[in-house]
A and B are shown apart, each in its own frame.
Chain A
Amino acid sequence: MGAGGDPIVSNGFWSMGGYARYVWPCFAFACLVLAWNLWSARRYRAAARLRAARMLVMEAGVDS
């Protein structure tokens, strides 16, 4: 049960007391920002690893 004894998932919950159009976009945007942070950081690290590996391969090619 949620606040005030209402069922947790109910119209009252989703309507947020009439403020749904302000509350839910905030949480949606927060999820988007957190997901973007995680994705971009992992992509940045993967690209750096790839660059370092390519350099290693190029140097090995020059040496041989």
Chain B
Amino acid sequence: MWTWFYKLASPPHVYTAAAALAPWFLGLAAIGIGYGLVAGLVFAPPDYQQGDAFRIIYVHAPSAWMSLFAYTTMAVAGAIALIWRIKMGHAVAAASAPIGASFTLLALVTGSLWGRPMWGTYWAWDPRLTSELILLFLYAGVMSLRSAFEDPARGDRAAALLGVVGLVNVPIIHYSVLWWNSLHQGATVAKLGRPSMPGSMLWPLLSMLLGFMLFYGAVLCTRLQGEVLNRERQAKWVREAIQS
């Protein structure tokens, strides 16, 4: 029953699929981000309360979303590798971690720069900010743990386990603005059926989000190719792929 699943997750299939998908993802990401930047920076009207400072949302919100998405991908891939012993799960998790960490750093830096004119401070120990900072530490922990073992298989398992345990932080980040008193604004787009933004501000944001997602896909595919080659360099198909 699961034969198709294992076949789909076989290293040669993953390598070939990643190589085929990466350029498409990158091209579409360039379109999405390009449109989002022009529409967000030039054509969207200033916010009635925040003025032009609100435009930071076009890089802050997509990077914050992607920090959670990349972590969830990493944890789910790690869990799949642990439960079904599919080694490509570890490769996906390893490829996702540095990308997610960079998006988390971007979300924290842009949030801090947005906070200064709006809240009067670059940093506050606010639930949303603190839980996002913990996410950055989790990424760092997962990456360090993977490389801390002499046996790469043990490193993979330990990193996957920490990744799965750390997944508890993802809903905490998302719902922190509802569960606790927070300086951070509440949900803007993710309100079911009723986003609190007009279309002229919302479409560029959605385009940037899609662009960031596709960019993540492109970088993940590129890194994944490297991971597969590193892990499978003894395999016959890798020799054939290198020679061809």
Contacts and interface: CB of A to CB of B under 8 A. Distances in A.
A41 B223 contact: yes
Given A30-B106, A37-B102, A48 B116 contact: no
B46 to A, nearest CB: 6
A22 B42 contact: no
Nearest to B229: A48
Contact of B102 (A33, A42, A51): A33
B49 to A, nearest CB: 12
A35 to B, nearest CB: 11
A2 interface: yes
Contacts of B234: 55
Residues of A contacting B: mostly: helix
Interface residues of B, number: 45
A33 B44 contact: no
A34 B103 CA distance: 9
Contacts, number: 110
Given A17-B51, A30-B106, A34-B215, A48 B44 contact: no
B53 interface: yes
A41 B219 contact: yes
B110 A26 contact: yes
B53 A3 contact: no
Interface in B98-121: 98-99, 102-103, 105-106, 109-110, 113-114, 116-117
B98 A40 contact: yes
Interface stretch (B56-64, B76-84, B126-134, B143-151): B56-64
Interface of B: 26, 33, 37, 41-46, 51-53, 55-56, 59-60, 63, 98-99, 102-103, 105-106, 109-110, 113-114, 116-117, 215, 218-219, 222-223, 225-227, 229-230, 233-234, 238-239, 242-243
Interface of A: 2-4, 8, 13, 16-19, 22-23, 25-27, 29-30, 33-34, 36-38, 40-42, 44-49, 51-53, 55-56
10 contacts: A22-B53, A22-B114, A25-B113, A27-B37, A27-B59, A29-B59, A29-B109, A44-B222, A47-B226, A51-B230
